[in-house]
Structure 1
Amino acid sequence: MKKFKGKDPLIRNCPESVKHRPVELKIRISESDSKKPPDQVMKVDEEMVVNFLSVGSFYCGIILGDRLLKVNSVPVGVKDRAKAIATITKGEEVIIEVWRRDFTSPPTYERLKNLGMPLRLNHAYFVVNMFKPKQMGTISTIGFTMKNVKRRLMITEILPGSLSSLFLALGDAIVDVDGKSVPFTTNGENDLKYMRSLISRILQTGQASLLIERPVSDETIRDFRRWLNSFERNNSDFDVSPEVINIGLSAANMHGLIFRKVTPKSILSSDVKGRTNGTQEEKSKFIKISGSMLETRISSDVEDEDDLKDVVRKSHAAGSSYDDD
């Protein structure tokens, strides 16, 4: 097995971090699919990896992610892709050889049906039969980090040399454990409780049957990669030399010294005047009041002006009054 550190940034269809082996299969696609154009039944990418199967032939024995090696004992490559697919989709019994992940097998119709949720387009579904090798001895950890997202335990990190590194790869999502689907929870405490019980069970029994969901198309692989990169994790593949660290620290110190001496411009508009500390009298000379605004016109129903009483005017200033004689 190829050793790896940290995350695999590629999330390939055939992950290099786990073992693969050649598997010979005797298959026959459904009769209804044999009448369809080949590209509507099966597709392979430029690496001869199967990334599409029609619904009618989904359970023919091929797993999305298998790499085609031979068709009827004849080796096939990219130039033989169209001919190989045409031979497989004729509807006749065909013997093919594929390059497949070790310890994996196709899921049954019943197991996928018991998930209780629709299968995702452009995703592979296969069973990983995890067990503890005798030479590994006593283990205290499974060796992977996961996150429960919509009833899927997404593998976000794998510890090299651990039990998980033998069977799982980044890009895998566990949707079923021993035939029981992963529960949907929205509570972090419940998620943690479920994951702990799962890990404890695997450590006690030393084995588990995991139904895995994995992206296979270019688009779904890119989406998973972006989701995985959104998590902040230590990446042991990424090392920074001491020289680069010193350059960064020197630049940060220099900017700190400069900005401490710089007076930033005011955020106020240039026509905004600052406050003054003058007295009220000084301020009052800038206040202008229009007399026409204070003038009040009063109409009266008294015809003879001599019958009107004199008006007493009082100042608004406290304690002062005068008569207009």
Structure 2
Amino acid sequence: MRWNTQSVAEPLSGPDDGTPAQPPLLSLAGALRTVRTPEFQGITFHEVAAKSALNKVPPASSMPFRWTVNPYRGCSHACVYCFARNTHTYLDLDAGLDFDRQLVVKVNVGEVLRSEVSKRSWAREHVALGTNTDPYQRAEGRYALMPGIIRALADSGTPFSILTKGTLLARDVPLLKSAATQVPIGAGISLAVLDPELQAALEPGTPSPAARLRLVSRLREAGLPCGVMAMPILPWLTDSEEHLDALMGSLAQAGATGVTAAALHLRPGTREWFMGWLARTHPRLVGRYRRLYSKGAYAPSEYRAWLGRRVAAAKARHGFGRGFERDEAFAHRDADVVAAGRPAAREPALVPGQDALF
């Protein structure tokens, strides 16, 4: 089990706010205490002392970075499509409600990271944050781990990027501006659904689309580049020309410096949870999804090519180039997108007319 690498170096704990705590309820090496608090109704925090903070990406991975940091395990954003759900089973927890409500918190991650990136052997390679679970989920408001992580990376000369749905990132904009004078940084906002009703059903613990668009603008006003990960695009729900055009128009108006988009993929753990949600909310689509994803986690290449053409056309209509390729996805370089004067975005249509294709 991966969590066997955790150990207690000293008696640590979370915020000293008088919250009643219990002895650890999970059998994790390094477990300190279990916390429940009225401000986070239904959420259980399992505080651990981490032995390491940097995670090395497997060599076979196609990701454009080799190192990540994840201060939290599990995510109260509760996105029904989250690809990381199955990782909770490594903790003998389930990939459904436990992933949303049983959160592991590495309370000493900032200190451990500073020690690791201060070593002479550290090559100051790019570090990506937000690649597994969101570093600015609601728990960050309680534990405030990200400022220590940002300072450790910037002070060591380590470039980094952050991907999040969480508007709590706005708290750290001054810190990010300062870090940007020391190292190259990137900020990315995850936003793929504009319709507020559909978004609330898919991502019940996340800020609204409007709030995330305001965050994009806030980052740009601060002089920071801000790309958007418009992922996942959902077949028959968010892949219509109307929705994609509205999405790209809204992102351009907000000042996004680039957009990358891709179709939903359904890994084990995520697949079961998402399909259960689909059966409850859009039962007429269940058969279509089963056929579309009958051969594995990814949609067929024909669908992905079709979607790619539709996305490219929508991006071009709103001033986004064909760039922002995979190696730039977490660098979020400024694409000189001019957002001023865009027409108001149209309301998205939820069900595209692509039955003849898929």
The TM-score normalised by the length of structure 1 is 0.24
Quick check: which one's helix share is greater? 2
Quick check: which one's strand share is greater? 1
Give 1 or 2 for the bigger CA radius of gyration. 1
